[in-house]
């Protein structure tokens, strides 16, 4: 079945008018298959996630594999191939998604048709993330948590394990809890925010490097600056605060971070930690397993089979980063996710015959809201319990660095 363009989004949000106007066209999954059961959302049902999965040129196959590895009928998915990818690759990704019976039935996967250039440096990544969150709010009113993933990420636990372990605990602790690695920037650490840069990805139709201004700006005294992991997991209530803009803080910080070199490592962190209603709802972990050089470079080291045991025992929800087609991904599929090639990860919602060659998730029962966590869920639970111990001691929230901290 071919891929059709269903709609063209033009979103205006006060929270990010200073960055640019979104025009999203989305490939939607039409199907003649009726909904087999009702997906239930709300406080008396398991939480649901909105996954924003992004990549660049030639990342279509990697994004499709990652989609299958994190797929569940209760969740929502938005796939973004940057403007450097060809339209044919974008259409191929949409067609691949529609080839999955569950995706055709539940219609919960969309592909961004009119994409943006995205670079690690500059503020275009923040713009794309805010726009993706806004689109997903329009598409689905039921999800609770927004998760950013890239084509170089991969899960270390099933979706049944995620929904049954981490999120109910956080939701009971505080309804609006967000997770991100957050530390306070002070003294010399502020130097990363003083240089002024311009990100051409916000207004040019071609890729270009960021521009550096010759002058620097003073560190603001109206708010504190925080920094942390660019890979965030954010609550819906916090993103509504950022996007709908009933307070000036998200807009003010957005204007400031428009000219910051690594804005995705500071924007959400600074909004959370300067907002009284959210500053005590942070957990200082991005729930990812990574290995860094010493001293750290821009990206962590690539993971391979030599670190599989350590990675599997880490208690992380995701790992990063992987080379294309590395055998360690097959090990994760086989040993942790129990996923066959081009199949979704089996969960309690799948009722088909279990076989490496037959997709058990091509069939489902009357209730797709039931969960059955795998063995990795216990390791994740232990990891989350440790985080919450730190949270309860107030040592893990919007950390204030010492006076001699260097960024």
pLDDT tens for each residue of the chain, 407 residues long: 443 333 323 222 323 323 332 334 444 333 344 455 788 888 788 888 999 999 999 999 999 999 999 999 999 999 999 988 999 999 999 999 999 999 999 999 999 998 887 777 878 889 999 999 999 999 999 998 899 999 999 999 998 876 666 565 555 554 456 666 666 554 445 677 888 888 777 776 666 677 778 888 888 889 989 888 888 889 899 999 999 977 899 999 999 999 888 899 999 999 999 998 888 778 788 889 999 988 878 889 999 999 999 999 998 999 999 999 999 999 999 999 999 888 999 999 998 877 667 788 999 988 898 888 877 888 887 887 777 776 666 555 676 544 334 44
Q: Does residue 100 lie within any of the structural domains? A: yes
Residue holding tokens 């044919």?
88
Q: Does residue 19 lie within any of the structural domains? A: no
DSSP class of 24: E
Q: Residue 149: give its domain's CATH number.
A: 3.90.550
Q: Does residue 402 lie within any of the structural domains? A: no
Distance CA(18)–CA(268), nearest Å, equals 16
pTM for the model? 0.86
Q: What is the pLDDT of residue 96?
A: 97
- SS3 helix, strand, coil % of the chain, rounded to 5? 35, 20, 50
Q: Does residue 90 lie within any of the structural domains? A: yes
* Three-state SS at 382: helix
What are the φ and ψ backbone dihedral angles of 371, each rounded to 5 degrees? -130, 145
The contacts of residue 376 (CB under 8 Å, 6+ apart) are 156, 157, 158, 161, 312, 336
Q: Does residue 355 lie within any of the structural domains? A: yes
Evaluate the omega torsion of the peptide bond into residue 300 and state whether it is cis, within 30 degrees of 0.
Answer: no
Q: Does residue 405 lie within any of the structural domains? A: no
Alpha-carbon distances, residue 391 vs 151, 170, 172, 234 (angstroms): 31, 11, 13, 16
The tokens describing 368, both together, are: 């797709």
Alpha-carbon distances, residue 236 vs 48, 49, 91, 242, 273 (angstroms): 11, 9, 29, 10, 16
CA-nearest of 284, 49, 270, 288 to 146 is 49
Q: What is the pLDDT of residue 2?
A: 40
Q: Distance of alpha carbon 75 from its chain centroid, rounded?
A: 13
Q: What is the pLDDT of residue 30?
A: 37
Number of domains in the chain: 1
What are the φ and ψ backbone dihedral angles of 349, each rounded to 5 degrees? -75, -15
Q: What is the pLDDT of residue 403?
A: 38
In 284-382, where do the E strands start and end?
288-289, 318-320
Alpha-carbon distances, residue 118 vs 201, 244, 272 (angstroms): 7, 23, 24
* Three-state SS at 169: helix
The tokens describing 24, both together, are: 């999203």
The contacts of residue 7 (CB under 8 Å, 6+ apart) are 25, 26, 28
* Three-state SS at 315: coil
Alpha-carbon distances, residue 155 vs 163, 221, 329, 371, 379 (angstroms): 13, 40, 10, 17, 14
Distance CA(110)–CA(139), nearest Å, equals 9
Q: What is the pLDDT of residue 108?
A: 96
For 122, the domain range is 49-188+225-393
Q: Does residue 62 lie within any of the structural domains? A: yes
Distance CA(256)–CA(192), nearest Å, equals 13
Q: What is the pLDDT of residue 72?
A: 94
Q: Do residues 78 and 54 lie in contact, with contact meaning Cβ atoms separated by under 8 Å?
A: no
* Three-state SS at 167: helix
Distance CA(254)–CA(257), nearest Å, equals 5
Q: Does residue 332 lie within any of the structural domains? A: yes
């Amino acid at each position: 079945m071919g891929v059709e363009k269903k709609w063209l989004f033009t979103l205006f949000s006060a929270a990010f008018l200073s960055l640019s106007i979104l025009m999203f066209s989305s490939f939607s999954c039409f199907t003649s298959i009726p909904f087999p059961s009702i997906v239930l959302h709300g406080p008396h049902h398991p939480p649901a996630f909105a996954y924003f999965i992004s990549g660049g040129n030639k990342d279509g196959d990697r994004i499709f594999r990652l989609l299958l590895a994190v797929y569940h009928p209760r969740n929502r998915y938005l796939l973004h191939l940057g403007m450097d990818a060809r339209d044919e690759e974008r259409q191929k990704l949409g067609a691949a998604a529609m080839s999955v019976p569950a995706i055709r039935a539940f219609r919960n996967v969309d592909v961004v048709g009119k994409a943006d250039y995205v670079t690690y440096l500059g503020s275009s990544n923040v713009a794309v993330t805010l726009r993706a969150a806004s689109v997903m709010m329009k598409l689905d009113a039921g999800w609770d948590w927004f998760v950013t993933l890239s084509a170089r990420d991969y899960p270390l636990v099933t979706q049944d394990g995620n929904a049954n372990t981490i999120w109910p605990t956080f939701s009971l602790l505080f309804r609006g809890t967000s997770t991100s690695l957050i530390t306070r920037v002070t003294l010399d650490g502020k130097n990363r925010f003083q240089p002024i840069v311009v990100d051409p990805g916000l207004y040019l139709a071609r890729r270009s490097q960021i521009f550096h201004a010759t002058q620097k700006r003073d560190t603001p005294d109206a708010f504190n600056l925080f920094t942390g992991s660019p890979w965030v997991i954010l609550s819906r209530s916090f993103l509504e605060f950022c996007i709908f803009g009933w307070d000036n803080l998200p807009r003010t910080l957005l204007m400031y971070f428009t000219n910051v070199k690594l804005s995705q490592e500071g924007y959400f962190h600074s909004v959370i930690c300067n907002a009284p209603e959210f500053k005590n709802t942070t957990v200082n972990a991005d729930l990812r397993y990574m290995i860094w050089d010493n001293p750290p470079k821009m990206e962590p080291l690539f993971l391979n089979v030599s670190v599989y045991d350590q990675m599997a025992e880490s208690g992380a929800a995701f790992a990063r980063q992987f080379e294309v087609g590395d055998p360690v991904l097959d090990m994760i599929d086989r040993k942790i996710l129990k996923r066959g090639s081009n199949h979704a990860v089996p969960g309690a919602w799948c009722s088909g015959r279990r076989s490496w060659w037959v997709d058990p998730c091509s069939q489902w029962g009357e209730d797709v809201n039931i969960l059955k966590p795998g063995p990795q869920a216990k390791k994740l639970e232990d990891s989350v319990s440790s985080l919450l111990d730190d949270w309860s001691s107030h040592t893990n929230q919007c950390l204030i660095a010492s006076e001699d901290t260097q960024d």
